[in-house]
Structure 1
Amino acid sequence: MKDKTKKENKEKYVEDDALSYYSEYEIPDGGWGWMVVLGSFFVHVIADGITYSLGIFYSKWVDYFQTDKATMAWVGSLVPAMTYLTGPVAGALTNVYGCRKVAVVGSLLTTFGFVISIFVNNVYFLYFSFGILGGIGMGLIYLPAIVCVGFYFEKRRSFATGLAVCGAGIGTFIFAPLSQFLLNFYGWKGAVLISAGLILNCILCGALFKPLPKTKIPKESISPVSEKTFQNGNINIKKRKELSVTPDEIVNLTKSENNLATRKLSIDSRHSQYSVGGTRSRISRRSFSGSGLLNVSVFQSHASVISMSVLSLHEQGQASGGCWKETKTIFQQTLNPALLTDPIFVIFLISNFFISVGYIVPYIYIPDYALEKNLHPNKAAMLVSVIGVSNTFGRVVFGYLSDNPRINRIILYATSLVICGIGTLVFPFLEIYPLQIFYSVIFGIFTGVFISITSVVLVDLLGLENLTNSFGLTLLIQGIATLIGPPFAGWLYDETKNYDFSFYLAGITLAGGGLLLYIIPFLKQYKKKKQHVMTELVSDAPPLNSTPPQIVVSLTDIDSNHEEL
């Protein structure tokens, strides 16, 4: 009877906040979710299409504002950079106000920035109106478009998100020639005004992002879950324990002394099935790296940029403390400098800085470069279009390859970027149009790896528990580098009066960043050996709780010694 009572006391029901969070919403895996996918798809078509086609406007702006190319390049770099850097604020706003409202506000802000841009006569005000306001608005549009798809799908989440983000490449393919057409007929002001009108359509897309209807499930329906020992990073459940996981803990995976799940949440699907109301909800490693809420191997382009901002999202509309508190929390979680002591992560950050310096340069300068080579403007725009459509293909291919356990993802990542860099270095020597098209195909396909699997590589290198902090710092570095690359490439043109050195810069930084990544496997091997040695030392050491040797001295001995003295 005593043993039975003891056993019952041990077997407590798990009160899993994360599962309660999901259980409050019935995930339809379809239904209105397909309308959400449709809205997200068109958000990517419009927003990414405009962002990656800004190079078409570049030469017109230089002539209109009578400025040098380095000064003008800041406009093209500010839009994507501000989209990167807006992530934490966008995450906090979405947490407090929901996907629909934030997407609508972002659409209005970008539209406002674009509209007032047609009245400016100063390039520096264009930085503010088009670059900063437009970029911040883009960031507010992208985040809800990604998050809402994840809320509506579970089993089909990978497929649904893949459909949504395909709009990015298709948008680039469409908007490059469309922007050139609008420039030819309406000038840059008319083209920007029409682009602003197209962005207004994102309001309609955002209106599709309605919250999931709540379905309350009582705590009694949550089945007991036992806890086992940890082996090989998996939760092998052994003794039952109170388990409390909040939504941001599942995603942020912050280490907590009192929380089993957040300390060791590297979960293998074979060992982690939670029964809720008779229905099992499986959490697996793939849930985080392939088909889960973050879907980090599928969130591509700006999707991957924003995915880190949604890592701390709780249930919509239930955040306490308001937007400022949420923003502060996200920044604290993101900008944790502790990881900077890890040489593997430091190498990865340096690599991503160089890659990001060169990544956006071809998008901005290829159209103007082609015009200087006496190509027709429509042919110049087609070079960017080809990058867009081939990039979509590259995302799908590398996303598929990265799920193959026989593929070393860091080597795939590095090799693709080296190929991209070498191609960019060679580009100035390609004098004929078919070869320039071939470069656009290569660049588009192989930059797909940089866009699609950065988050997955970070999981491989640093572990799932460090994903939030590591990716947050990576995004910060990428945003800063994006601000530096295009203006510096423009300065090189102003100094040399040709684009050759601008593409050399992009090629060297892309290839150099890729080559740096080849150091990481050796560092991982060294780190693994060091950990193995430390493990052996710890295992050979005497246990801390061992009983110290006892010295027994009898009173008789003490008396005899006293008499001798």
Structure 2
Amino acid sequence: MGDKVVNSRKYELIAPDGGWGYMICIAAVINLTTITAFLTCFGMLYKTLFIELKMDSTSVTLLNGIGAFFVAISGIFTAPFLKFLSIRQLGIITAAAFNTGTFMVVFVKSKIIFFISIGFLQSCGNGVLYNLSCTALNNYFVKKRLLAVSIVHTIVGLAALFSPQFIKWSMEIYGFRGTLLLVSAISLQSIVGTALMQPVEWHMKKVEVPEDKENESKLLLRPEENPRTCNEDTNMIKSAEDAKNFNKAENVKGQEPSSFINTIISSILDVSIFKNFVLSNACVGMAFVIFAEFTFTTLLPQALYAIGLNDDDVAWALSMYASGDVATRFLFIFISNWLFKFGSHETYVIGLVLTFISRIGMLWSDNKLVIIVFITVMGVSRCFILTLIQVVVADAVEPEKFSCAIGLLFLLFGFFNIVVGPIIGAIRDLTDSYSTAFYILTSCIGVVIIFWTIELIYKKNKHKRQPKEHVSKV
């Protein structure tokens, strides 16, 4: 009798929300630090190389566009690659590509090699490593997701906080090429980070399903349904689907070229998320905001030099920019529960409003101290824009579609960079004004704020417009 009781118990596998998940946090810190810590120093780090290669703002934004394009392509292919490779194998391969590109920059003497090393190799590794790190965190943490993401991004932000001063010190001691060599050595740690990643299936927790939860799921069935009927229907449906898929596989050779291409595309992209995700602000709006943020960050050091700030002033401004970012990430750790209840999308819109206000304030001021204050506030808004990416996406799609959704997000990000980025750079060169380019980027964020606010209001009031359904008595 006891054996029957034991056998009748039902269990389910849930995310560990800890355990090896803490090692995944360490892996994510290592990976995200190596690929993002020096982004705010891009202008400082490659300023000498830009001069040597005679690259103007149009060339720099084109480089960013090409890089973003390959980040997007590699990100969208992450999910299909994971069908053939483990998360660790794929991570190590892409970490090797990323580090090859970083090391090649040390010896760059031409634009072509520079574009290949930064725009192709580094960017491909960047896209996959970011996707894998976000996917691993998303898989290992559910209830504590925002807390884990906040801790990881806080530590990553601390690295970005000290990176401008580190680059300034290294340039003075070791010169331009020596600094690039040091950055290359730091980037090698991404191999260690990817080696720590393990499939979440190895560490899932087995918990017993409470009897009241099982009874509740049974009550959700229609009166004419019963578990046996449901199982039989499910088996019939699965058999029909298997037969259908088998017939499709057998007929692939006889398909027309357009049908064959559609089959390939559907195997790479999960078309089921196009309607609800791609057409939402969580995808289009956020991709445009990330593009505007990275373009602004790339041009910011040159803009500060243009208004008369020296190396010390620029390094200090970038450090304060990172300080605002880190302080907010640290705050997120303590208010993660409240933010979870408030909503990730609503929190993201608040960050966008802060971004808009701080950039307008910087553009309207001529005082160096006031400019640095607004740059610090921009660091606060940067935390909202970058830290909440994976949380906003995770709240918008099902867990099994997360990798594909992140890939689609960065595919749009790459599209905006390759199409809009060079236009922004050309406008900057034609007008000889960084302010004009910054006004355009800030206006884009303002448009996203308006549309996202409308979407949130619509969703909040949607249930009020729907007729109430009467619960049938059992």
Could you say which structure has the higher helix fraction?
2
Using CA pairs under 8 Å that are at least 6 residues apart, name the structure with larger relative contact order, 1 or 2: 2
Q: Is 1:499 matched up with 2:434? A: yes
Q: Which of 294, 302, 313 is 1:379 aligned to?
A: 313
> Could you say which residue in structure 1 is the equivalent of 2:191?
203
Aligned-partner residue type, residue 37 of structure 1: C
Contact persistence 2:290–2:386 (CA under 8 A): no
Query: Is 2:374 the partner of 1:433?
Result: no
Q: 1:47 is matched by which residue type in structure 2? A: I
Q: From the superposition, tell whether residues 526 and 331 of structure 1 become closer, same or farther in structure 2 (CA, over 3 Å).
A: farther
Kindly indicate whether the alpha-carbon contact (under 8 Å) linking 1:398 and 1:452 is maintained by their aligned counterparts in 2. Answer: no
2-structure distance, mates of 1:69, 1:416: 28
Q: 1:65 deviation in Å?
A: 1.0
Aligned counterpart, 1:559: none
* CA 37–530 in structure 1, closer or farther in 2 if over 3 Å, else same: closer
Shift of the alpha carbon at 1:169?
1.1
Larger Rg: 1
| Counterpart in the other structure of 1:417 | 352
> How far has the Cα of 1:50 moved from its partner?
2.5
- The residue aligned with 1:449 is 384
Q: Given that residues 69 and 411 in structure 2 are in contact (C-alpha distance below 8 angstroms), is that contact kept between their aligned partners in structure 1? A: no
Aligned to 1:29: 18
| 1:562 alignment counterpart | none
**Residue 45 of structure 2: aligned partner:** 57
Out of 57, 70, 78, which is 2:58 matched to?
A: 70
Match of 1:421, as an amino acid?
F
Q: Which sections of structure 2, spanning at least 5 residues, go unmatched?
A: 239-262
Counterparts of 1:215 and 1:116 in 2: how far apart (Å)?
Answer: 38
The change in CA–CA distance for 1:396 and 1:370 in structure 2 (over 3 A counts) is: same
1:479 equivalent in structure 2: 414
Aligned to 2:128: 140
Partners of 1:526 and 1:159 lie apart in 2 by 29
Aligned to 1:392: 326
| Separation in structure 2 between the aligned mates of residue 216 and residue 362 of structure 1, nearest angstrom | 41
- RMSD over equivalenced CA pairs, Å: 4.4
Answer yes or no: is the 8 Å Cα contact 1:394–1:447 preserved in 2: no
1:402 and 1:453 in contact (8 A); partners too: no
Whichever residue aligns with residue 42 of structure 2, its letter is: L
The question of whether the paired residues in 2 share the 8 Å contact of 1:13 and 1:223 is answered with no
Residues 427 and 489 (structure 1 numbering): CA distance in 2 closer, same or farther, change over 3 Å? farther
| Shift in CA distance, 140/77, structure 1 to aligned 2, threshold 3 Å | same
Give the distance between the partners of 2:201 and 2:389, measured in 1 at CA: 33
Equivalences, count: 431
Please state if 1:518 is matched with 2:430.
Answer: no
Instruction: Name the aligned partner's letter for residue 388 of structure 1.
Output: A
Work out the CA distance in 2 between the residues paired with 1:156 and 1:348.
Answer: 21
CA contact (8 A) 2:147 2:332 kept: no
2:100 aligns with one of 112, 118, 122: 112
TM-score normalised according to structure 2 size: 0.74
Given candidates 266, 271, 275, the residue that maps to 1:338 is: 275
Q: Percent identity?
A: 16
Work out whether 1:190 is the aligned partner of 2:178. Answer: yes
Structure 1, unaligned runs of 5 or more: 1-7, 245-255, 260-325, 544-565
Partners of 2:61 and 2:88 lie apart in 1 by 33
Which range moved further: 77-86 or 427-436?
Answer: 77-86
Deviation of 1:39 after TM superposition, in Å, equals 3.5
Task: Give the counterpart letter for 2:426 in structure 1.
Answer: W
1:4-47 Cα shifts (integer Å, max 9, x gaps): xxxx9xxx97988xx46x69xxx5934x6544433432322222
Per the TM alignment, residue 443 of structure 1 is displaced from its structure 2 partner at its CA by 1.1
Q: Is 1:110–1:136's contact at 8 Å kept on the other side of the alignment?
A: yes
CA–CA separation in structure 2 for the residues paired with 1:159 and 1:137:
26
